[in-house]
Amino acid sequence: MCWRKYLMWFANEHVQFRLPEIESLLSVFNIQYNWIHQEISHPFWVIELPSEHAATQIASRSVSLHCCVELWAQAKTEEELHRKLRVLPAEQFQLHFSAEKSFRIKVDTFCNKLSQADKISKIENFSYLPIEGHVNLKDPDVCLNIIEFYGLDSNNIPKKPLDLYFGRWVANGQRDLLAKLSLKTRKFIGNTSMDPQLSILMANQAKIVDGDLVLDPFVGSGSLLVAAAHFGGYVLGTDIDYLMLHGRTRPSRIQSKKQREKDESVWANMEQYGMSGKYLDVVIADSSLPIWHDSLTLDAIITDPPYGIREATERIGSTKSYTISEEHLETHIPSKIEYGLQHMYMDLLQFAVYHLRVGGRLVCWVPIIRENYCEEKLPSHPCLKLVYNCEQVLSSYTSRRLITLEKTYEPDELQQGTASETSAREFRAKFFKYGEEKQSRATSVPNQIFRENGLFVMLGSRAMSHLCKQQDSDRPYSSTNSVKCLGLLATSYPPSHLLESGD
Ligand SMILES: C[S@@+](CC[C@H](N)C(=O)[O-])C[C@H]1O[C@@H](n2cnc3c(N)ncnc32)[C@H](O)[C@@H]1O
């Protein structure tokens, strides 16, 4: 192993989410590491890794990372930086510099702007480096970075940088994904579609890897499924809202036509991004009435339950008791009642405890009234360990916290979770206080899924029915496009697999 120091340069956004994302990725790739410098609000962290491959693995998934640089020297002044570089052993350079290898030196600054002339004069100060190759500004073999950090306060920029770094660029993070998966160009979005950055952070914190089975029980427009499928997860979702899953809610784009296009759906998004092979189905179902077969085992649950702001917190139920006659069962639309946040989170955690594999993660948002917050009030369960808890502030009074819970052991029957009593009404009232906020039914589908080498293989047309319980009373769920889904799944697996079922 060749341990080296790497500089991680983070995008200046979602600061609290950096460590959970990077630590989750270190765990996904089973990478050993030592933190040399890791300070939450500082955009530059230094980590010691056993190989360059480890650095590229982290960068291949991280959306917090701007880029990763092999760190050759770090200093508080220019003089100190040059002094350190001059005494570096020759092997440091021999690996990367030769007459055949082109190079480029780039000056980057944080919280300051330098003129082109200033940058060039800084680059010239490094002329003592034993670089032999020719300059190639567009596509060099080796890219060297001079990085200057001028602090975090753009109203008070110091004359000289506070920290200087010099190193060799290794890999960019996944910031390009933000444009690729942007909601602006996504086929189907809703009022509460999660932005790609937070969706990817959630998928990374859930440690989703190729072949995982992932569920979003409050799926909405399926943004979280996009992120999960991007990392190879096979995705499933449920939502109580028929109109949402059929792409028939009011259009969410202000400038758009009055009607949605006919083919807007979670499925259409998957197709748009070339992820249709990872799509299992989305199902109209009430998460308070679990539809899943007892044997369903999930690798991850990522979800954003409703907080009662833009989406009502509701479940199927009635204050009256009534029986539906046989003839009306087929077309009956059940009434809904309020689903208290406390009960919603207790149900969600209970569901996670029963259906996650040990080691699997539940990553979900929890609305918070900031003045009442303490960690003990977060939803919890004895079988779920709170791994991370990051705040995204929504207003002076409210925020939401992304909690990452990992299942540590199988439950025994008596173990119950807890959740605090914050009602959706109270959260809503605080959210809108003083108007200052700026917020940021499965008809059984025949098929069979089994796991082979970490991949799900569809055997003929018997999957959702094996994952869902048979329901014979008042139906809390119905299928949206599972038949279509199976048809498309057929395209991503060899036809022989599909023929085996004998359907
Ligand atoms: C905050 S939105 C989720 C948005 C989603 N992450 C997206 O990117 O579009 C919450 C969703 O939960 C759904 N929902 C509300 N109550 C539900 C329930 N009892 N069971 C299942 N879904 C429910 C709503 O219809 C809504 O689509």
Residue with the smallest CA separation from ligand 1 atom 4 is 220
Query: Whose CA is closest to 433, among 322, 325, 330, 309?
Result: 309
Q: Give the pLDDT band of residue 465 (cuts 50, 70, 90).
A: low
The answer to whether 461 and 447 have CB atoms below 8 angstroms apart is yes
Interval 468-479: pLDDT, tens: 654 433 334 444
Interval 171-225: pLDDT, tens: 999 999 999 999 999 999 999 999 999 999 999 999 999 999 999 999 999 999 9
Q: Please give the single-letter amino acid code of residue 394.
A: L
Please give the number of the atom of ligand 1 that sits closest to the Cα of 339: 19
**Rounded (5°) CA angle 255-261-267:** 115
Mutate to test the pocket of ligand 1, among 199, 200, 219 (most ligand atoms within 8 A of CB): 219
Would you state the structure tokens that stand for residue 481, as one six-digit string? 């496009």
The answer to whether 63 and 173 have CB atoms below 8 angstroms apart is yes
Specify the pLDDT at position 279: 98
Would you state the structure tokens that stand for residue 79, as one six-digit string? 């003089």
Query: Whose CA is closest to 216, among 226, 227, 224?
Result: 224
Distance of CA 119 to the CA centre of its chain: 37
Mutate to test the pocket of ligand 1, among 191, 193, 311, 338 (most ligand atoms within 8 A of CB): 311
The residue-averaged pLDDT of 256-276 equals 89
Q: Are strands 103-110 and 142-149 parallel, antiparallel or unpaired?
A: parallel
Q: Which residues contact 454 (CB under 8 A, 6 or more apart)?
A: 209, 210, 211
Residue with the smallest CA separation from ligand 1 atom 19 is 315
Distance CA 396, CA 236 (A): 35
Q: Please give the single-letter amino acid code of residue 160.
A: K
* Range scoring the smallest mean pLDDT among 189-198, 228-237, 280-289, 320-329: 320-329
Q: Give the pLDDT band of residue 325 (cuts 50, 70, 90).
A: confident
Per residue, the 3-state secondary structure of 12-29, as one string, reads CCCHHHHHHHHHHHHHHC
Q: Which residue has the higher pLDDT, 260 or 237?
A: 237
Specify the pLDDT at position 417: 78
The residues facing 65 across adjacent strands are: 10
Specify the pLDDT at position 105: 97
Mutate to test the pocket of ligand 1, among 202, 216, 239 (most ligand atoms within 8 A of CB): 239
Model confidence at 24: pLDDT above 50: yes
Coil/strand/helix, residue 355: helix
CA atoms 383, 385, 390, 395: torsion sign: positive
Specify the pLDDT at position 464: 54
Specify the pLDDT at position 192: 92
C-alpha of residue 238 to centroid of ligand 1, in Å: 8
Distance CA 28, CA 48 (A): 17
Specify the pLDDT at position 323: 82
Distance CA 210, CA 151 (A): 39
The percent of residues above 90 in pLDDT, for the chain, comes to 67
DSSP character for 468? B
The residue-averaged pLDDT of 69-95 equals 94
The answer to whether 236 and 213 have CB atoms below 8 angstroms apart is yes
Helix (H), strand (E) at residue 36: strand 34-37
Distance CA 445, CA 449 (A): 12
Q: Are strands 384-393 and 448-452 parallel, antiparallel or unpaired?
A: unpaired
Residue with the smallest CA separation from ligand 1 atom 26 is 220
Specify the pLDDT at position 283: 94
The set of protein residues with a Cβ atom below 6 angstroms from ligand 1 is 190, 192-194, 218, 220-221, 223-224, 238-241, 244, 286-288, 304-306, 311, 314-315, 339
Specify the pLDDT at position 253: 77
Query: Whose CA is closest to 291, among 469, 441, 445, 443?
Result: 469
Q: How many CB atoms lie under 10 A from the CB of residue 478?
A: 15
Q: How many CB atoms lie under 10 A from the CB of residue 131?
A: 20
Q: Which domains does the chain have, with CATH numbers?
A: 4-174 (3.30.2130.30), 181-273+295-435 (3.40.50.150)
Strands (E), 271-373: 279-285, 298-303, 314-316, 336-338, 356-369
Residue with the smallest CA separation from ligand 1 atom 1 is 306
Would you state the structure tokens that stand for residue 48, as one six-digit string? 């010691």
Distance of CA 277 to the CA centre of its chain: 19
| Residue with the two structure tokens 């000289």 | 160
With b for 16 or more beta-carbon neighbours within 10 A and e for fewer, the 301-326 pattern comes to bbbbbbbbbebebbbbeeeeeeeeee
Model confidence at 292: pLDDT above 90: yes
Question: What would the DSSP string read from start to end of 131-167?
Answer: --S-B-SSS-SEEEEEEEE--S-TTS--SS-SEEEEE
Distance CA 157, CA 152 (A): 8
Specify the pLDDT at position 428: 73
Query: Whose CA is closest to 467, among 217, 139, 230?
Result: 217
Please give the number of the atom of ligand 1 that sits closest to the Cα of 217: 21
The answer to whether 350 and 417 have CB atoms below 8 angstroms apart is yes
Q: Give the pLDDT band of residue 466 (cuts 50, 70, 90).
A: low
Please give the number of the atom of ligand 1 that sits closest to the Cα of 219: 5
Q: What is the mean pLDDT of the chain?
A: 85
Interval 123-170: pLDDT, tens: 999 999 999 899 999 999 999 999 999 999 999 999 999 999 999 999
The pTM of the full predicted model, rounded to 2 decimals, is: 0.85
The answer to whether 129 and 167 have CB atoms below 8 angstroms apart is no
The residue-averaged pLDDT of 425-430 equals 74
Specify the pLDDT at position 468: 61
Q: Which residue has the higher pLDDT, 242 or 169?
A: 169
Specify the pLDDT at position 431: 73
Interval 480-498: pLDDT, tens: 433 333 222 222 222 222 2
The residues facing 71 across adjacent strands are: 167
Specify the pLDDT at position 473: 37
Q: Give the pLDDT band of residue 414 (cuts 50, 70, 90).
A: low
Q: Give the pLDDT band of residue 318 (cuts 50, 70, 90).
A: confident
Distance CA 219, CA 228 (A): 12
**Rounded (5°) CA angle 349-354-357:** 105
Distance CA 368, CA 414 (A): 28
Model confidence at 110: pLDDT above 60: yes
Interval 356-401: pLDDT, tens: 999 999 999 999 999 989 999 999 999 999 999 999 999 889 999 9
Query: Whose CA is closest to 31, among 3, 73, 69?
Result: 3
The answer to whether 461 and 331 have CB atoms below 8 angstroms apart is no
Phi, psi dihedral angles at 162 (to 5 degrees): -85, -35
| Residue with the two structure tokens 């207790």 | 346
C-alpha of residue 430 to centroid of ligand 1, in Å: 21
DSSP character for 410? P
C-alpha of residue 286 to centroid of ligand 1, in Å: 10
End-to-end CA distance of the chain: 53
Specify the pLDDT at position 328: 84
Coil/strand/helix, residue 278: helix
